[in-house]
Amino acid sequence: MNLRLSLPLILFLIIVPQSIQGSIFKTFSNTLSPKSPPYSFVFPLSGNVFPLGYYSVSLKIGNPPKDFTFDIDTGSDLTWVQCDAPCSGCSVRTELQYKPKSNTVPCSDPICSALHWPQKPECPNPKDQCDYEVEYADQGSSMGALVVDQFSLKLLDGSSFVPRLAFGCGYDQYFHSAHPPPATVGVLGLGKGKISILTQLVSAGLTRNVLGHCLSSKGGGFLFFGDNVIPSTGVSWTTLVSPINHYTTGPAELLYNGKQTGLSGLKFIFDSGSSYTYFNSKTYQAIVNLIGNDLKGKPLKDVKEDKTLAICWKGAKPLKSVLELKNLFKTLTVNFKNGRTNSQLQIPPESYLIVSKTGNVCLGILNGSEVGLQDSNVIGDISMQGTMVIYDNEKQQLGWVSADCDKLPK
């Protein structure tokens, strides 16, 4: 099982000045959409919460184009790929790695200064490569150099174009032994920072600063850039807290079975790079106690020998689906207070429980304080299944609506 937690602890990315746009967006194909920008893009996803622990997207990079699979991550900004430069600690075979072709970004390039802001890059020789290092909350890390290459991107209408985008060529990877690396070749950073792929496309005037994803509980789903995919009705919205770089919402209160829990004033980070949902220690313990009290007298027993997640229960017989026990658990509700109005994110049992390989049911809400998240609360993949989640950076709001994530929008 791959237990991911993506929020970066060390990440030197913030502002990309307007002056660098020309250096990145020099080359476009002649297969541009007949319609004028801004465009919308839809990318099919693979993966699941369990047993894989991640959702991934396949993107074509280089000339000739080569497929690379990326872990989609709204909790970080930098996109990077394992790189044959050569590579130390890479988790995929050499032939699956990206091969740089004298396309590293020099440390004197303004984009390198932006990458390291507010620090300055070490640059004794202006022709030296622009280095990066990112460390994640699950103790994994990637180190490498910034490169520029062309991405072959399909538009919603089926046409395509090939922008040149900056990303990381990671030649030194570390994966914590407790968290086996995913089978993906890199990370697609979808955060709000100016180095993210979306922000680069927005800076070139090619799409709106809006993205979203729809993660299917059956596996797969889709990712989108632009706002043409968003339903015109039915979407609930809440304000994004700024100037925080993560997609942070709140304050909110947590309800259990529609009733108040006394847990209020909470902020939540929405992070597609985290497999599970994390609450701070106080919130986690309160929810665990409420669930435990609710299960008294029910045909479920604690099972310590199942180490899939921190808390698992055993039924009278091995389970095949969470839906078999749905009536024994209650819905959690995140109640966002937006001025005079409220918006509610429902988290039903199937969005916080998994069935382990041995047929036990396990709690997909974990104690974030135990993994270095301190007082943060994170809504991970498990609690976003079956929902279109929309990150609107233009209006500084986050939205959600129930959706069929198995069907690609047209």
pLDDT digits (tens, 9 = 90+) for 38-77: 889 999 999 999 999 999 999 999 999 999 999 999 999 9
User: Which of the residues 271, 306, 381, 392 is marked catalytic?
Assistant: 271
138 belongs to the catalytic site: no
Residue 115 forms part of a structural domain: yes
Burial class, 30, CB count within 10 angstroms (exposed 0-12 / middle 13-18 / buried 19+) = exposed
Q: How many structural domains does the chain have? A: 2
Residue 309 forms part of a structural domain: yes
Q: Examine the pLDDT at 133 and tell me if it is beyond 70.
A: yes
Residue 24 forms part of a structural domain: no
Place of tokens 């746009």: 21
Residues 220 and 264 in one domain: no
Residue 30 forms part of a structural domain: no
Q: What is the pLDDT of residue 115?
A: 78
Q: Examine the pLDDT at 163 and tell me if it is beyond 50.
A: yes
Residues 149 and 257 in one domain: no
Q: What is the pLDDT of residue 4?
A: 59
User: Which of the residues 73, 109, 138, 227 is marked catalytic?
Assistant: 73
Residues 340 and 258 in one domain: yes
Residues 203 and 250 in one domain: no
Where residue 303 sits, what CATH number does that domain have?
Answer: 2.40.70.10
Residues 307 and 363 in one domain: yes
Q: What is the mean pLDDT of residues 159-170?
A: 92
| Most confident listed range (32-36, 61-65, 160-164) | 61-65
Binning pLDDT at 50, 70 and 90, where does residue 161 land?
confident
73 belongs to the catalytic site: yes
Residues 187 and 315 in one domain: no
Domain limit, last residue, from 225, 249, 277: 225
- Cα angle 169, 170, 176 (rounded to 5 degrees) comes to 160
- Alpha-helical runs (H) found in 178-225: 197-203
Domain limit, last residue, from 198, 225, 252: 225
Residue 192 forms part of a structural domain: yes
Q: What is the pLDDT of residue 396?
A: 95
Residues 72 and 158 in one domain: yes
Q: Examine the pLDDT at 13 and tell me if it is beyond 50.
A: no
Residues 202 and 67 in one domain: yes
Q: What is the pLDDT of residue 177?
A: 64
Burial class, 97, CB count within 10 angstroms (exposed 0-12 / middle 13-18 / buried 19+) = buried
pLDDT digits (tens, 9 = 90+) for 307-326: 999 999 999 999 999 999 88
Q: What is the pLDDT of residue 146?
A: 94
Query: 203 is in which domain, residue-wise?
Result: 41-225
pLDDT digits (tens, 9 = 90+) for 177-208: 666 677 899 999 999 887 899 988 998 899 99
Domain limit, last residue, from 206, 225, 244: 225
User: Residues 336-368, buried b or exposed e (16+ Cβ, 10 A)?
Assistant: bbeeeeebebbbbbbbbbbbbeeebbbbbbbbb
Q: What is the pLDDT of residue 150?
A: 96
Tokens found for residue 213: 């994803």
Q: Examine the pLDDT at 174 and tell me if it is beyond 90.
A: no
Residues 380 and 304 in one domain: yes
Residues 83 and 211 in one domain: yes
Q: Examine the pLDDT at 135 and tell me if it is beyond 70.
A: yes
Q: What is the mean pLDDT of residues 288-293?
A: 96
pLDDT digits (tens, 9 = 90+) for 222-268: 999 999 999 999 999 999 997 677 999 989 999 999 999 999 999 99
Partnered with residue 121 across adjacent β-strands are: none
Helix or strand (DSSP H, E) at 288 = helix 281-295
Q: Examine the pLDDT at 290 and tell me if it is beyond 80.
A: yes
Residues 207 and 260 in one domain: no
Residue 286 forms part of a structural domain: yes
Residues 122 and 176 in one domain: yes
